Amino acid sequence: MAHSESPRSHLRAGGQGGAVVPTSSAVGLEASASIGHYSVSQRGVVGLMLTLALELAPEFIRVNSYTKPRWTRR
């Protein structure tokens, strides 16, 4: 079963489309020293969001991602 089946079937039941909003981190959009594992996992969320957007668009299901801003150390 594809990961998109759960939101797809739920939103299909309503018959009016809908929205899926996964959360990610800005670290997934750029390289960061010493936290490569976290960066890779967040990039995966971004990739999944882009894929779901393409797959679900014909069913009027919008997929957008909220990306938390990158924090800085002081």
CB 27 within 8 A of CB 15: no
Candidate list 29, 30, 35, 38, residue with the active-site label: 38
Q: What is the dihedral of CA 59, 7, 23, 19, to 10 degrees?
A: 40
Annotation marks residue 66 as catalytic = no
| Residues with a known catalytic role | 38
